[in-house]
Structure 1
Amino acid sequence: MIVNLFIFSFFIIAVFYSFKYRFIQFRFIKESKKVLKSERSSYAAFMMTLASHLGAGNIVGVTTALIYGGPGSLFWMVVSCIFISIFSLMENTLAVKYHEIINGEYRGGACYYIKNGLKNPKLALLFCFFLLLANTIFFGPLQVNTISESLKIPFNISDELIIGFLLLFSFLVIFRGTKAIISFIEKLVPIMTIVFLGVSISTILYNINHLPGVFNLILKDAFTFRSVGGAVIGNALIIGLKRSAFSNEAGLGTAPTMSSMSKVKSPVSQAYVQVLGVFVDTVLMCTLMGLMILVYDIELSMFEGCSLAVYIFEVIFSNIGMHLGSFLLFTFAMATWVSSYYVGETNMLFLSQNMNIKKKLIHNIYKGLFILTTISGVLLNGKQVWDFIDYGMMFLGSINLYAIIKLEKIFKKELKNYFDM
């Protein structure tokens, strides 16, 4: 119940700020084009952000939303994205403004603007601690669980082999540092995105005569009220808000870690690039995934998240569909899993700097936690994983929202400077 109250309050505050700033976040297409064309570091940050966003939340997040929230949850995922994208503009502006150079690289994020902007090092350390927990215990297991299921469903691979593969990959790619992570992400993200867009758009166009009925079903279910946690509330609304927030992460304070790696003329320009990522993630990718499922008359309650995702590809492409669905599950979850390590590493460096802990020691501790998460993600079931995620979002979102509201004057000043340029 407390998570539902948080996510609803989170949405209402986003509505307020969107109207206050006259939906200024909608300028993201025009503004992001400028900086992506001219700034190499901005493109790298954008790819990292897309990798972080375009993970299990886009496929398994959508399927679980449809299973537990009904078709109407897709409507609320999109509506939520439209409003909470204002948080993305605010937090990423602050992240780039307060980033620092550490070991020759730009590093930053929510804990940096909480410390340097709010002048509240204790709250910054608390957020850093929660983010490290979220990245390992709360969010990490979903990506690993999805990778695991994507290999088990078509190939029936044992848990031991999957754990061995993921640990080997960690040492060969993830633990080699930022350059290796960015190189991997820049190769993987465009491929998986193009494949997904091609498959989903062609499937929807092939079934275009079903779309009017699907849209009618979505809108009708979006305003159907059921009992949730003892209160009469829109089940589709709450599930949609939760899955949207997890999928695009706007306002949670995680994405600013990626945006802060960029070197740009104005913090606002990079923030608009991050807003573009939010819309690509939810309004485009999640909507396409949801429509691709709903154009087929499937009994959703018979499935769990991963199995429904693979099944829909089997329905569309027959035998090859299982492998195509598993490939997309694997690549989307893999990209997010890899980028999540970078987020944790940046916050680990912050912890090292501000608690006078040897960098090598805390780095090894974080690697150990990352490995334990990998093992637990393979062994846990999907329902347990989603429960962890909801609490992780609440811990991070509440602190980050407090920070960006308190730093609103700084955001307004940067906004004015940007449009006066």
Structure 2
Amino acid sequence: MIGILEQFVAATNNILWSYILIVMLIVLGLYFTVKSRFVQFRMIVEMVRLLGEGAAKIGNKKTGVSSFQAFCISTASRVGTGNLAGVAIAITLGGPGAVFWMWLIALIGAGSSFVESTLAQIYKVKDENGFRGGPAYYIEQALGIRWLGVVFSILITITFGLVFNSVQSNTISFAVENAFGVDRAVTGILLTVMTVAIIFGGVKRVAKVSEIIVPIMAVSYVIVALFVIIKNFSSLPSVFALIFSNAFGLNSMFGGGVGAAMMMGIKRGLFSNEAGMGSAPNAAATATVSHPVKQGLIQTLGVFTDTLLICSATAAMILLSGAYKTTGAEGIQLTQNALSSQVGAWGNSFIAVCIFMFAFSSVIGNYYYGETNIEFIKADRKWLFAYRIAVSSMVMVGAIAKIQIVWDMADLFMGLMAIINLGSIAFHYKKAIDALDDYTRQKKMGLDPVFYKDSIEGIDDVECWNYSPDYNKKAV
């Protein structure tokens, strides 16, 4: 019976990820990019500037989560073991050309990320910690289909909150065991205790921890990658030539030619940056900002940070070291071999520490995605408590066991989740584009953009935005 289920899930995943999702993500990403007049490129300076903004005021006080904290929550979930092991797998199976397609899908997908995160801000709702929202919320409010929002909530809670967290703890326990000889059960207990201490503190504690872990994690990893790049600077042109030639089948010595390079690069890129998947908008909605577009731009920068920065750092170490030519090495082992060949034996331990930081930050980021969707289904403290216990249990189970069908089911649920989200934003993306036009107009006037219910048409019933001071005059 299990064998039949495994075959069914594997076949379904192949159809979803190799055909349906790739087409939807690329086509809609390009469409949103054109409709937004290439927002992910022309406003990149504004994205970086917005990182420094604190939480906007509500009344006379600042509350909730800042733009930077929301950025860190989503980046904590995006940046995980896939950035280290996933890139290595893509290069092993698809050749160096997979890196080009990974870059391309990030540039295209950033358009979808902008739309979904802006919509999450427009349709967010108030809670005791500030705000919450995401695809389930804008599916209900913008499309009026609550049952579909509930389906989405169930899918993302199981996929990110439970299964993906066990995947992360599994990777951590193996890496720590291989590098330091620590028993996996001991690592599991430590991870579970750390997880409980954070998730029972709610979104503000998740935000605070993410705000600390993510920058340290990312900067440390990029610095080491830069050292490898500088050390092999003279080889950089040949590596770029290798990436581009392999991407278009001009040099298919490694991997399976242009087809394999394209498929692996796109799939690993989508898995890594999550653009259009409907996960990051849950973090985007928590931010207290004066205009929804601010968080749309911040989350777009998150896509670039994940793929163009962290994934590229891994690719650079692997390709510059030549470790990808080594037979038998794949996944995290390939990344460890690549770094160790450049910096010595401590590279193996450094990657293990990075895995711990990357994966643990994903655990707490993934947890929040489930929390906000549990509250969408039913705002009951008992449900939330049960979910927190379930997350903690899955972290422990994941550290000591691995069942392949569970991971395959998670891929299936994530694929279905993405289809629901992409279909939803395809129907009401124009609200995000209208909000962008409003933001741009105010920026040209030298203002710090402020958003109101009457700034754009068709959002009179949203909860968290007021009418402008001169709304009555406009009505008359």
Q: Following TM superposition, by how much is the alpha carbon of 1:105 offset from its aligned partner in structure 2, in angstroms?
A: 1.9
- 1:228 is matched with none
Distance 1:30 1:249 in 2: 22
Q: Following TM superposition, by how much is the alpha carbon of 1:382 offset from its aligned partner in structure 2, in angstroms?
A: 9.8
Distance 1:173 1:154 in 2: 26
Is 2:351 the counterpart of 1:337?
no
Cα distance change on mapping 1:198 and 1:124 into 2, 3 Å: same
Aligned residues of 1:6 and 1:394 also touching (Cα < 8 A): no
Letter in 2 for 1:222: A
Q: Given the alignment, which residue of 5, 16, 31 partners 2:31?
A: 16
Is 2:44 the counterpart of 1:29?
yes
Distance 1:272 1:375 in 2: 36
Distance 2:248 2:198 in 1: 46
Q: Following TM superposition, by how much is the alpha carbon of 1:300 offset from its aligned partner in structure 2, in angstroms?
A: 5.0
Cα distance change on mapping 1:69 and 1:175 into 2, 3 Å: farther
Letter in 1 for 2:171: T
- 1:316 is matched with 342
Aligned residues of 1:139 and 1:388 also touching (Cα < 8 A): no
Q: Following TM superposition, by how much is the alpha carbon of 1:83 offset from its aligned partner in structure 2, in angstroms?
A: 0.4
Q: Given the alignment, which residue of 68, 84, 109 partners 2:93?
A: 68
Distance 2:47 2:234 in 1: 35
Moved more, 188-197 or 83-92: 188-197
Is 2:431 the counterpart of 1:410?
yes
Distance 1:409 1:199 in 2: 42
Distance 1:82 1:303 in 2: 30
Moved more, 306-315 or 274-283: 306-315
Structure 1 residues not aligned, in runs of 5+: 226-230, 354-358
Q: Tell me the SS of whatever aligns to 2:37.
A: coil
- 1:162 is matched with 187
Is 2:146 the counterpart of 1:121?
yes
Moved more, 145-154 or 365-374: 365-374
- 1:306 is matched with 332
Aligned residues of 1:66 and 1:300 also touching (Cα < 8 A): no
Distance 2:282 2:69 in 1: 13
Is 2:298 the counterpart of 1:273?
yes
Q: Given the alignment, which residue of 15, 18, 35 partners 1:4?
A: 18
Distance 1:292 1:301 in 2: 17
Q: Tell me the SS of whatever aligns to 1:37.
A: coil
Cα distance change on mapping 1:79 and 1:402 into 2, 3 Å: same
Distance 1:384 1:302 in 2: 24
Q: Following TM superposition, by how much is the alpha carbon of 1:34 offset from its aligned partner in structure 2, in angstroms?
A: 4.1
Q: Following TM superposition, by how much is the alpha carbon of 1:310 offset from its aligned partner in structure 2, in angstroms?
A: 2.1
Q: Given the alignment, which residue of 177, 180, 183 partners 1:152?
A: 177
Is 2:46 the counterpart of 1:46?
no
Q: Tell me the SS of whatever aligns to 2:289.
A: coil
Letter in 1 for 2:45: K
Letter in 1 for 2:44: I
Deviations 1:31-83 (A, max 9, x none): 22443333331111112122122221211221121122221111110000000
TM-score by length of 1: 0.91
Letter in 2 for 1:308: L
- 2:458 is matched with none
Distance 2:326 2:20 in 1: 27
- 1:360 is matched with 381
RMSD: 2.3
Cα distance change on mapping 1:266 and 1:135 into 2, 3 Å: same
Letter in 1 for 2:419: S
Q: Given the alignment, which residue of 414, 423, 431 partners 1:393?
A: 414
Distance 2:30 2:401 in 1: 36
Distance 1:130 1:75 in 2: 31
Q: Tell me the SS of whatever aligns to 2:322.
A: coil
Cα distance change on mapping 1:109 and 1:15 into 2, 3 Å: same
Moved more, 378-387 or 183-192: 378-387
Distance 1:138 1:236 in 2: 28
Q: Following TM superposition, by how much is the alpha carbon of 1:209 offset from its aligned partner in structure 2, in angstroms?
A: 1.7
Distance 2:241 2:420 in 1: 38
Q: Given the alignment, which residue of 267, 270, 294 partners 2:319?
A: 294
